[in-house]
A and B are shown apart, each in its own frame.
Chain A
Amino acid sequence: MTEMGIFQITFYLLILLALVVPLGGYMARVYEGKPCGLDRCFGPLERLIYRLCSIKPEQEMNWKGYLLAMLIFNILGLLAVYAIQRLQLFLPLNPQHFTNVSPDLAFNTATSFASNTNWQAYAGESTLSYFTQMSVLTVQNFLSAATGMSLLIALTRGFIRREAKTLGNFWVDLVRTVLYILLPLSFLLALILTSQGVIQNFKPYQKITLIQPITYQQTLVDSSGHSKTETRTITEQIIPMGPVASQIAIKQLGTNGGGFFNANSAHPFENPTSLSNFLELIAILLIPASFCYTFGKMVKDKRQGWAILFAMLILFIPLASAAIMAEQQGNPAFTQMGVDPTPQPHLYPAGNMEGKESRFGIVNSALWATATTAASNGSVNSMHDSYTPLGGLVPLFMMHLGEVVFGGVGSGLYGMLMLVIITVFIAGLMVGRTPEYLGKKIEPFEMKMASIAVLVMPLLVLIFTSIAVVIPMGLGSIANPGAHGFTEILYAFSSFGNNNGSAFAGLNADTPFYNILGGLAMLVGRYWIAIPTLALAGSLVRKKIIPPSPGILGTHQPLFIALLIGVTLILGALSFLPALALGPIVEHLLLWKQYGH
Chain B
Amino acid sequence: MIVKETLKLLKTALMLLLLLSLITGFIYPSMITGLAQLLFPWQANGSLIKQHDKAIGSSLIGQSFNSPQYFWGRPSATTPYAYNAGSSSGSNLGPSNPDFLATIKNRVEHLQKSDPRHQRLIPVDLVTASGSGLDPDISPLAALYQVPRIAKARGLSESEVDKLIQHLINNRTLGILGEPYVNVLELNLALDDLQHRQGSYDNSTTP
> Which residues of A are in contact with B by a Cβ distance under 8 Å?
4, 7-8, 11, 49, 52-55, 68-69, 72-73, 76-77, 80, 123, 125-126, 134-136, 138-139, 141-143, 171, 174-175, 178, 183, 186-187, 190-191, 194-203, 205-214, 216, 218, 232, 234, 237-241, 243, 245-247, 250, 261-263, 266-269, 272-275, 277-278, 330-331, 333-334, 337-341, 344, 346-361, 363-365, 380-383, 385-389, 479-484, 487-488, 504-506, 587, 590-591
Contact = CB atoms under 8 A, between A and B. Distances in A.
A352 B36 CA distance: 36
Contact of B178 (A77, A197, A359): A359
Contacts of B61: 237, 239, 268-269
Max chain B CB contacts within 10 Å: which of A123, A202, A355?
A355
28 contacts: A73-B13, A80-B17, A80-B21, A126-B87, A171-B12, A171-B16, A178-B23, A187-B31, A194-B40, A197-B47, A197-B59, A208-B48, A211-B65, A245-B44, A267-B134, A268-B136, A274-B177, A277-B177, A339-B104, A340-B124, A348-B141, A354-B91, A354-B129, A357-B132, A358-B138, A381-B131, A385-B94, A505-B92
Contact of B12 (A55, A247, A351): A55
B132 A209 contact: no
Contact of B70 (A201, A212, A383): A212
B206 interface: yes
B199 interface: no
Contact of B15 (A52, A77, A247): A52
A528 to B, nearest CB: 21
A53 B44 contact: no
A338 B122 contact: yes
Contacts of B157: none
Given A142-B24, A266-B131, A239 B97 contact: no
B50 to A, nearest CB: 9
B188 A338 contact: no
B130 interface: yes
B98 A347 contact: no
B104 A333 contact: yes
Nearest to B103: A354
A361 B172 CA distance: 11
A218 B79 CA distance: 10
Given A55-B16, A348-B140, 18 more contacts: A52-B19, A76-B14, A77-B17, A126-B87, A135-B26, A143-B20, A186-B28, A212-B63, A333-B96, A333-B104, A339-B104, A339-B123, A340-B121, A358-B130, A358-B181, A365-B131, A385-B90, A387-B95
Given A139-B25, A267-B88, A178 B20 contact: yes
A347 B139 contact: yes
Contacts, number: 400
B153 interface: no
Contacts of B122: 337-340
A209 B56 contact: yes
A201 B25 contact: no
B171 to A, nearest CB: 7
Contact of B85 (A238, A344, A364): A238
Nearest to A214: B64
Interface range, B side: 35 or more
Interface string B90-134: 111111111011001100100010000000011111011111111
A151 B189 CA distance: 54
A406 B130 CA distance: 29
B22 to A, nearest CB: 9
Given A49-B16, A211-B185, A273 B178 contact: yes
A110 to B, nearest CB: 14
Interface string B48-88: 10000011111111111111001000100000111111111
Contacts of A73: 13, 16-17
Contacts of A388: 95
Given A360-B178, A484-B97, A338 B173 contact: no
A352 B14 contact: no
Given A240-B85, A386-B92, A53 B15 contact: yes
A274 B179 contact: yes
Max chain A CB contacts within 10 Å: which of B43, B59, B85, B95?
B95
A368 B6 CA distance: 43
A358 B121 contact: no
A480 B99 CA distance: 9
Contacts of A76: 10, 13-14, 17
B176 A8 contact: yes
Contact of A187 (B28, B48, B57, B101): B28
B123 A357 contact: no
A96 B125 CA distance: 33
A350 B139 CA distance: 9
Contact of B121 (A200, A239, A338, A587): A338
A11 B175 CA distance: 12
B97 A480 contact: yes
B89 A263 contact: yes
B11 interface: yes
A176 to B, nearest CB: 12
A277 B28 CA distance: 22
A339 B85 contact: no
B33 interface: yes
Interface in B144-200: 144, 171-173, 176-181, 185, 188-189, 192
